[in-house]
Amino acid sequence: MSETPTAVNPTVAAWSEADLGVDGTVLEVVRAPATVLSSVGAEVDPTDPATVRLAADLVATMRVSPGCVGLAAPQVGVGAKVFCVDVSEHPKTRDHHGTFVLCNAVVVSSSRNEKAREGCMSVPDLTGDVKRPSRIVVRGQVPGTGEEVEVVANAFEARALQHEIDHCEGLLFLDRVAGAHAIYQRKTYL
């Protein structure tokens, strides 16, 4: 009997930063060319209290940043494989999981390449056209419980997840554009 993954993982969809049990602190977002942004993040223990605090800080920092749909640890100066995502307020969103944080996340499968414009708080003056799969399966761990979860993500959420996983691998969207012709000066921040 084969198991078809449902579109939305209920554990991840039900998660909120309140589950972390600690208040996050808003941190300063570092900008390119900070070395931490081009370094591969370290794997973390998702049950370590330091990881839980980092998760809370990432969500708190994302919340105060207009238009921010995701933030990775290297963007707050921490070389670790942790990121948060929340695309629920974005106009291009279809189905999504709301706010969640993943540790040590990897893309386990992907399909349907699609090109779209991306921006990044760590590269505030530029945007770029990046081709990425629009349907992916990501595996990672939930901070705090350490529970291993699989997330099937589509469209804009899939893009946001890949952008954040890239940050944890020391890659920016600028490393993914087809060339200088695919980079643009940002006119408005959103």
With binding defined as CB under 5 A, does residue 120 bind Zn ion?
yes
CA separation (Å) from 148 to 85, 90, 128, 145?
17, 27, 33, 9
* In the complex, minimum distance from the CB of residue 163 to Zn ion, in angstroms, rounded to a whole number: 5
Known catalytic membership, residue 164: yes
Report the distance separating Cα 47 and Cα 64, nearest Å. Answer: 26
Nearer to Zn ion by C-beta: 55 or 62? 62
> Which is nearer to Zn ion, 52 or 120 (by Cβ)?
120
Q: CB nearest Zn ion: which residue?
A: 120
Cα–Cα nearest to 102, from 37, 133, 148: 148
Which residue, 105, 132, 100, 97, is CA-closest to 118?
132
Active-site position among 17, 118, 157, 164 = 164
How many residues bind Zn ion, per CB under 5 A? 1
Pure H helices in the chain: 10-14, 49-63, 155-168
With contacts defined by CB under 5 A, name the span among 18-26, 43-51, 98-106, 112-120 that binds Zn ion: 112-120
Nearer to Zn ion among residue 96 and residue 167 (C-beta): 167
Peptide bond into 33 cis (omega under 30): yes
Interaction between residue 160 and Zn ion (CB under 5 A): no
Shortest distance, position 110 Cβ to Zn ion, whole Å: 19
What single string gives the DSSP state of each residue in 152-176? EEEHHHHHHHHHHHHHHTT--GGGT
Nearest approach, Cβ of 140 to Zn ion (angstroms)?
Answer: 17
Nearer to Zn ion, 83 or 144 (CB): 83
Active site residues: 164
Residues found near Zn ion in the complex (CB under 5 A) = 120
Binding site per annotation, positions for Fe cation: 120, 163, 167
